[in-house]
Structure 1
Amino acid sequence: MSVSGFYFNIPKDRIGVLIGKEGSFKKLLEDRTKTKIKIDSESGEVFVCAEGDNLVVLPVVKNILKAVACGFSGQAALELLDENKHLEVIDLKDIMGKSYSEIERIKGHIIGRNGKVRRNLEEYTNSRISVYQTYVGIICDLENLEVIRKAVEMLINGTSHVGVYRFLETQRRRAKEDFSLWADK
C-alpha cells in the first residue's frame, strides 16, 4: 500500500474553519475524500495523504483547502467536490500593487454596502464569492466562470455597480436565448 500526499499552508486564522467544531469539518472532508489530514495549528501547515489508488482526489482536496484559505466556509468549499464546480482566485495585490488603501477600496466596491453587491453577483451567476485579505475567491459552475470573472474584473477596474448589473443582465438574457434555441432543435 503506497501513500501519496501534499503539504499546504493555510492562514492561522482559517485553521478553525478547516478543523470545524470538535473536528467535524476535518472528519467530514476526510470521509468524503478518503484522505487523512494532519494539521499543525502552530505553523498552519497541513499534510493531506491519500492511500492506494485514490490519487485523483488530491487536486480536489487542494482546491478545497485553497477555498478555505481564501475565506470560504467549509460547507461552501465542499461544493468543489462536484466536478462541475470550479475555484477561481484573484489576488488583488497582483492587480493593484501593494497599496493597502487601494485594495481596501476595491474590496469595498466588490462587497458593496452590507454585502449587497456580492450577494447580487452570487445570485446573478449562481456562484459563491469570498473577499478575504487580498483575495477574491469564486466558486461556480464552469459555464458561469467567464461571466463572474469578467464582472469582478469590471468592478476591480472601477466600473459602476449599475454597469456591472447591466452586463450581467445581458449575459443572462443571452444564456436564456441560447438555451431556448438549443431546446427548440
Structure 2
Amino acid sequence: MTTTEIKITANRIPVLIGKGGKTKYGIEKKTGTKLTIDSEDGLVGIEGEDAIAVLRTTEMVRAINRGFSPERAATIFEDEDMMLDILDLSNVCSTPKQMERLRGRIIGKEGRAREQIEDMSGAILSVQGKTVAIIGMIDQVKNARTAVEMLVEGLPHATVFSFLDRKKKEAKYDMLDYYY
C-alpha cells in the first residue's frame, strides 16, 4: 500500500470533493486510489495499491489546487508521458500590482493569449495566484513554459507566438521524419 499527503488551499477543497462527493468518487474510481480529505486543514491523503496511480493522482490533486477544473486536471491520465509543471511567479514580482499585470500578459484580453499558447503548444494552462500551471506531454510543457517565460521577460506577444509557431512546425516535420 502506497500513501502520500498533499496540502491544498481551502477554496479548492469544494472543487476536489464536488457536489455530493461526485468529483472525489470519480477520481477514486478512475485511479483506483482512496482520497481522505480533511476540510479543516486542507490535507488530502492519497492511498492505493499501485504506486504510479498514487503518484499520478497526487499530480491531479496538485493541478486542481493550482486552478484546473477536475476535468482538465484528469488529462494527466490520458497518457503516461503527461506531466504537470508549475511556474512560481512570486520571485519576479515585488508588488500585487506587478503580479496582476504579469498575469494579465499571460492570460491576455478575454483569455486570448492563454488560449493561443494552449492551441499552439498543445498544453493546457491555469493561471492562478502566483503560479502558472501547465499540463501536457514533455515537449508541449517545455514549449508552453518557454512561451510564458518569454512573456514574463516582457517580450511582445507576437514574438512569443512566432516562437510557438516555429516549434509547432518543427514538431510536424519531426513527425514526418518519423513516418518516412
TM-score range, shorter chain: over 0.9
Shift of 1:148: 1.1
Match of 1:7 in 2: 5
Match of 1:121 in 2: 117
Q: Is 1:142 aligned with 2:138?
A: yes
CA deviation string 1:97-147 (max 9, x = no partner): 442222111110000001000011111111110001101000111232221
| Runs of 4+, deviation exceeding 3 Å | none
Residue 16 of structure 2 aligns with an amino acid whose one-letter code is L
Match of 2:104 in 1: 108
Residue 27 of structure 2 aligns with an amino acid whose one-letter code is L
Provide the aligned C-alpha RMSD in A.
1.3
Instruction: Quickly say closer, same or farther: Cα 1:45–1:80, change in 2 above 3 A.
Output: same
**In structure 2, how many angstroms separate the alpha carbons of the residues matched to 1:75 and 1:113?**
24
**In structure 2, how many angstroms separate the alpha carbons of the residues matched to 1:181 and 1:54?**
37
Match of 1:88 in 2: 85
Percent pairwise identity: 32
**In structure 1, how many angstroms separate the alpha carbons of the residues matched to 2:18 and 2:39?**
13
Residue 139 of structure 2 aligns with an amino acid whose one-letter code is E
Q: Number of paired residues?
A: 179
**In structure 2, how many angstroms separate the alpha carbons of the residues matched to 1:39 and 1:58?**
15
Matches within 5 A, 1:1-185: 3-50=1-48, 53-81=49-77, 82-94=79-91, 96-184=92-180
Shift of 1:84: 2.2
Structure 1: runs of 5 or more not aligned: none
**In structure 2, how many angstroms separate the alpha carbons of the residues matched to 1:10 and 1:98?**
24
**In structure 1, how many angstroms separate the alpha carbons of the residues matched to 2:139 and 2:27?**
26
Residue 154 of structure 2 aligns with an amino acid whose one-letter code is G
Question: What is the DSSP-based 3-state SS (H/G/I as helix, E as strand, rest coil) of the residue aligned with 1:159?
Answer: coil
Shift of 1:29: 0.7
Residue 17 of structure 1 aligns with an amino acid whose one-letter code is V
Residue 13 of structure 2 aligns with an amino acid whose one-letter code is I
Q: TM-score, structure 1 length as denominator?
A: 0.91
**In structure 1, how many angstroms separate the alpha carbons of the residues matched to 2:173 and 2:5?**
45
Shift of 1:65: 0.9
CA deviation string 1:76-103 (max 9, x = no partner): 1111113121101001013x14422221
Shift of 1:178: 2.3
